[in-house]
Amino acid sequence: RNLLFRALKYLTNVYVSMNSLTIPEFFEDHIGQWMDMFHKLLSMQQDLENQDAIELQAAIVEALTLYAEKYDEEFKPYLPKLTQDVWSLAIARGSDTMFD
């Protein structure tokens, strides 16, 4: 399972890298599929101590931040649900500074 989390984290990092300058047409055409996957991964009930799951979710938050800052029009339909996911994740993680 940890191997899967690591692989997904690396894929998310590639996704961020490929979208950092401009949104490729493929990603724009399939934004709903990506955001649904991010929603599912952020909503997972995982052991709060699983470092690989924590790093995957941090990479997803980085991807969402990129979209919110650079592609607000494309991202707007997904913002409420994903904001709630990030908020729920922050509440679940608590105030430990390792999650800042």
User: Rounded to 5 degrees, what are φ and ψ at 46?
Assistant: -115, 160
Q: What is the pLDDT of residues 14-52, one digit of tens each?
A: 999 999 999 999 999 999 999 999 999 998 876 667 889
What is the distance between the alpha carbons of residues 21 and 33, in angstroms, rounded to a whole number? Answer: 21
Tell me if 52 sits within 8 A of 98, measured CB to CB: no
The pTM of the whole model exceeds 0.95: no
What average pLDDT does the segment 52-76 reach?
94
